[in-house]
Amino acid sequence: MFTKLQEECCKANLLLPELGLVLYTFGNVSCVDREKNVFAIKPSGVDYANLKPQDIVVVDIATGNKVAGTMRPSSDTNTHLELYRAWKNIGGIVHTHSTCATAWAQAAKDVPVFGTTHADHLANPIPCTDFMPDERIKNDYETETGFQIIDCFNNKHLSPDENQMVLVAGHGPFTWGKNGEQAVYNARVLEELCKMALFTCQINPDAAPLKASLIAKHYERKHGKNAYYGQK
């Protein structure tokens, strides 16, 4: 019943070690089927080298219950669940602990738009959430992490359709996209943007963000209504 979705999710998960975004069993990818109102996600603690499509767990979005798979789903499942519930346009989510993105998350800093590579992908700083308050940590932590991300976007007046990445303070990065493969692409881009920003700050601690006109030009030529990047 969910074979195609499980295969898609497994393939996307296997891209993470291939792209150098995970170590050991770190990280996870999920993929959604909006028609069936379910999402598939990596099982908890399973080595990528041993991961097979039939291992992928399927979760009902309405109830949060497992509907396919024999293993326990990722410990981050409830975070994915809340993002799918809140943001209807996303079709895949990635969470990693990639080095540079996690370093910025641990520093609890937004990543400034220092250059056109960043502006090609989003016109804003990469947002970082606030640290989670103690009373929320004591609740369902993974569910609260989802709310933490949603609150960050609401408070900063950001669109999840235009800004497909976030840093969770003290934790690490989450990205999303129209499907699992695009979410993985965004995770790889996020890591590279964070690395570039780190080097920029090391070379020039007083580096200023890119001027607004250049940010707008690079973002619009790739994503605007008159975009001309790539092929028709």
CA distances from 187 to 97, 127, 139, 171, 212 (A): 10, 14, 28, 15, 25
Cα dihedral 65/71/75/81 (nearest 10): -30
Pairing of strands 38-41, 165-168: unpaired
The catalytically annotated residue of 33, 60, 110, 120 is 120
Contacts of 92 (CB under 8 A, 6+ apart): 12, 29, 30, 31, 32, 176, 177, 178, 179, 180, 181, 182, 183, 184
Q: Which of 130, 140, 161, 229 is catalytic?
A: 229
Q: Which two tokens stand for residue 70?
A: 């024999």
**Residue 179: which region, alpha, beta or left (left: phi > 0; alpha: psi -120 to 50)?**
beta
Q: Is 229 a catalytic residue?
A: yes
Sheet arrangement for strand 38-41:
66-68, 57-60, 38-41, 28-33, 92-95, 172-177, 165-168
Residue 140 a catalytic site member: no
Residue tagged 């804003």 (tokens): 124
Q: Which residues are catalytic?
A: 120, 229
